Amino acid sequence: MSTGWHPKNIYLYLVSFVTLMMIIFGLVAFLNNLTRLVVPTEYLHYPTLMEIEQEFIVSKQEVPPVAELERIRDNRISLDKARGRAYRMRDLIGTLAVWLIPIPFYLYHWRKIKQDLFAAGEEKI
């Protein structure tokens, strides 16, 4: 492989550069999402009993006793927390894919660059 601005050289270096950037940014995003999963910062609105009671009044339903309102509130809170964990796990898996998928492409193209340079008698990079 001759050095210079040949289309093959440009292609190999561009693909290597882009995949390397994807690996770096994917790793940063993965670590960020891992931190969010381990140390969650949740800004949930916890409904008050009065808000739940108001929902029943607006929908013209009979307002249940306080114990039932507390149960409804606790169910909503636990459901919101479970959804938050599920979203954080989904984001973590997505960024793991963004981090891991480009690695084989990067390795293949970088090895191709090195093989062609060594075949041409160039110095080792």
Q: What is the mean pLDDT of the chain?
A: 88
Q: What number of other Cβ atoms are within 10 A of residue 97's Cβ?
A: 12
Structure tokens at 20: 């390397």
Q: Is 60 among the domain residues?
A: yes
What are the pLDDT digits (tens) for 19-38? 999 999 999 999 999 999 89
pLDDT at 35: 93
Range of the domain at 57: 7-119
Does some domain include residue 108?
yes
Is the pTM higher than 0.85? The answer reads no
* Three-class secondary structure assignment of 43-93: CCCCCCHHHHHHHHHHCCCCCCCHHHHHHHHHHHHHHHHHHHHHHHHHHHH
Q: How far apart are CA 125 and CA 117, in angstroms?
A: 9
The DSSP code for 39 is S
Number of domains the chain contains: 1
Does a structural domain hold residue 1? no
Give dist(CA 113, CA 110) in Å, integer: 5
pLDDT at 1 over 70: no
pLDDT of the residue at 81 = 87
As a whole number, mean pLDDT of residues 74-99 equals 91
Q: Give the up-direction half-sphere exposure of residue 89: CA atoms within 13 A in the CB hemisphere.
A: 6
Residue 26 lies inside a defined structural domain of this protein: yes
* Helix or strand (DSSP H, E) at 14: helix 7-38
